[in-house]
């Protein structure tokens, strides 16, 4: 357990070194979050107004709206993640990327991003529908399938950034790269999630405690102010995690392709992060 935490922080620090050299990379998850909220609001208004999901019977219209919602959400997320990874690739190759560089790369891949978003939306919607109709064991199985999908698609975005391939071929190549090089246990990606999960828990607990304390000492107004500041802190942690994960996936892909660890990433660190079971 302690070895996992230690390795997680090593990977976070290596990715953070790249992020410190180019703080503009933080803008991509920020813009992505804003765009995702806008897309969500765009769907909520007609869904509530037309009462599509009332009565628990989804129906054809509900399924269509659900798919379109997943499609839009995934497209926004993948578009800006592609921009982030594209910019990170430039940085890892010794360049000095701008936000415009990342967005240019993402725009050049709009077609394949949309195709990949459609595949992910289909998988996501099917898993959600199965989970809602399943018992406890069924939900566990669906969770495992979802985890397998996440692992299989771990390197899809870096592949789409660097290669002229379609989404299905990118998924196949992502699976082949992970299996051939490091096995199936993507400990590095899980490690970053674990490290930031611990940080997020600590931040949330601290914010809740401060809000309760502020309410007791200064009333509702002070509690609201502290809550807003706390929400900003939580959002900041999430943005940093998203940026570091994108940088790490770009570094892993480069290492998988040529065996050369990018600047700031030691070869043994990457190998240890992807130990086979």
pLDDT reading at 97 higher than 70: yes
Tell me what the mean pLDDT of segment 50-58 comes to. Answer: 57
Among 197, 193, 122, 188, smallest CA distance to 155 is for 188
Q: How far apart are the C-alpha atoms of 130 and 141, rounded to whole Å? A: 10
Q: How far apart are the C-alpha atoms of 75 and 113, rounded to whole Å? A: 7
Highest mean pLDDT of the ranges 109-123, 171-185, 189-203: 109-123
Helical H segments across the chain, by residue range? 2-21, 27-50, 59-92, 99-108, 110-132, 136-152, 156-162, 167-181, 187-258, 267-273
Total structural domains in the chain?
A: 1
Tell me what the mean pLDDT of segment 126-149 comes to. Answer: 80
Least trusted range by pLDDT, from 30-44, 162-176, 183-197, 246-260: 183-197
Q: How confident is the model at residue 10 (pLDDT cuts 50, 70, 90)?
A: low
Under DSSP, is residue 53 helix (H, G, I), strand (E, B) or coil? Answer: coil
Tell me what the mean pLDDT of segment 250-271 comes to. Answer: 71
pLDDT reading at 54 higher than 90: no
Answer whether 7's CB lies under 8 Å from 191's CB: yes
Among 214, 188, 197, smallest CA distance to 272 is for 188
Written as six digits, the tokens of 182 are 């490091």
Q: How confident is the model at residue 182 (pLDDT cuts 50, 70, 90)?
A: low
End-to-end CA distance of the chain: 16
Highest mean pLDDT of the ranges 45-49, 56-60, 226-230, 267-271: 226-230
pLDDT of residue 277: 44
Q: Where on the phi/psi map is residue 143: left (φ > 0), alpha (ψ -120 to 50), or beta?
A: alpha
Q: How far apart are the C-alpha atoms of 67 and 41, rounded to whole Å? A: 16
What percent of the chain stands above pLDDT 70?
77
pLDDT of residue 170: 92
**Is the overall model pTM greater than 0.75, yes or no?**
yes
Q: What angle do CA 39, 102, 168 make, to 5 degrees?
A: 70
pLDDT of residue 178: 74
pLDDT reading at 192 higher than 90: no
The boundaries of the domain holding residue 103 are 2-273
């Amino acid at each position: 357990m302690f070895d996992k935490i230690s390795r997680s922080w090593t990977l976070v620090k290596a990715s953070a070194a790249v992020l410190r050299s180019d703080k503009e990379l933080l803008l991509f998850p920020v813009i992505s979050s804003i765009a995702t909220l806008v897309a969500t609001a765009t769907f909520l208004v007609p869904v509530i107004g037309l009462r599509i999901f009332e009565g628990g019977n989804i129906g054809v219209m509900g399924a269509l709206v659900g798919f379109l919602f997943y499609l839009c959400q995934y497209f926004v997320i993948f578009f800006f993640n592609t921009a982030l990874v594209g910019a990170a690739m430039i940085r890892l190759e010794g360049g000095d990327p701008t936000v415009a560089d990342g967005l240019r790369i993402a725009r050049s891949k709009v077609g394949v991003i949309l195709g990949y978003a459609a595949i992910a939306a289909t998988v996501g919607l099917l898993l959600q529908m199965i989970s809602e109709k399943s018992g406890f064991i069924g939900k566990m199985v669906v969770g495992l399938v979802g985890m397998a999908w996440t692992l299989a698609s771990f390197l899809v975005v870096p592949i789409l950034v660097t290669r002229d391939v379609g989404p299905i071929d990118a998924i196949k190549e992502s699976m082949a790269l992970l299996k051939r090089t490091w096995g199936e246990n993507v400990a590095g990606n899980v490690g970053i999630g674990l490290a930031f999960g611990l940080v997020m828990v600590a931040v949330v607990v601290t914010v809740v405690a401060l809000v309760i304390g502020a309410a007791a000492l200064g009333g509702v107004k002070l509690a609201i102010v502290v809550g807003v500041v706390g929400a900003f802190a939580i959002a900041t942690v999430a943005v940093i995690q998203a940026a570091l994960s994108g940088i790490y996936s770009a570094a892993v892909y480069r290492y998988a392709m040529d065996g050369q660890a990018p600047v700031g990433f030691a070869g043994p660190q990457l190998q240890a992060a992807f130990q086979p079971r």
